[in-house]
Structure 1
Amino acid sequence: MSIDMVLTVKILEYLSSMSPCTLSSSDFSALQKLADGDELKLARHLRYLEGHGFIEKGSVVFSASFPMINVASLCITQSGEDYLMSEGGLTAYKNTITVRFHAEAIALIERAILNSDLAPQEKTSYLSRIRELPFSATEHLLKRLLDLGLRHVPDVVQLVQKFLL
């Protein structure tokens, strides 16, 4: 049985609407209806959500012949709530890495241009154009240079190894 993402979202939305309360038997019946009354289907989807940390652990236990759903512990987690938010909530905020480029980074680029084999007139032209770039263009340039530099990390490691050996 494959996981139906529409159903998983419906389950999360339902649990979110009931949070922080414990589900009653009528609440659980409404949850079963979302899965067309198929308790095994519901249990598999709950297990999937539990595995991703979107609902509390211990909500579903599979025995040899049938699933047991612990209605008392069936509750959406903060990660589940964040998943439902369009911007990802605090989970997205916590998992975001911010890279700040300082004026020193621009100075390094300028130094590289000055030390290049370009003609003096070209150097002057490039330097003035770089200094006139809007922030977004400068940011894009620095990201591209960082990508280029990271692609050459193995070369740097080899150079260091040769130097040390």
Structure 2
Amino acid sequence: MLSVTEKLCKAVGEAAMLALAAQMAAALSRSGQSGGLIFLEGTLGAGKTTFSRGLIHALGYQGAVKSPTYTLVEDYTCQLGRICHFDLYRLGDPEELEFMGIRDYLDDGVLCLIEWPDKGRGVLPEADLEIRIEDLGDSRELALIARTATGQAWLAAWPEEPAS
């Protein structure tokens, strides 16, 4: 089987970004992999939190999904299990992750979404999947790059049609 290491997608508007997040949720569910690490990279306003919110909702979480900008992490439980959504934008030093117990969050079976992963460089392990979001003004281009076998399994399970 040919391993899939990269996928490019384009989103025009918030609804399209949420549809891509739903496709990611379908891929996660179909892959049979539980837990993993996803890095979301992009400039301010590129859509990292929108994508994360869409993914968390598409995985079955019914409540409000808050941006973890000030709390650093928000924890959710859904059909797939536990999801931890991090925003490291305000992190002063990567070592702060050790103080907050980052290794406990990176447990097997937990899906971790990390915005601004560069702020945790040296402490964070390699991502299973990097999602690089480029703001093109009226649209967004997403590059999904698998870094591990888990990430490759996710991309291989990517549905051709948007999830409904």
* TM-score range normalised by the length of the shorter chain: under 0.3
User: Higher helix proportion, which one?
Assistant: 1
When Rg is computed on C-alpha atoms for both structures, the one with the higher figure is 1
RCO higher in 1 or 2 (8 Å CA, sep ≥ 6)? Answer: 2
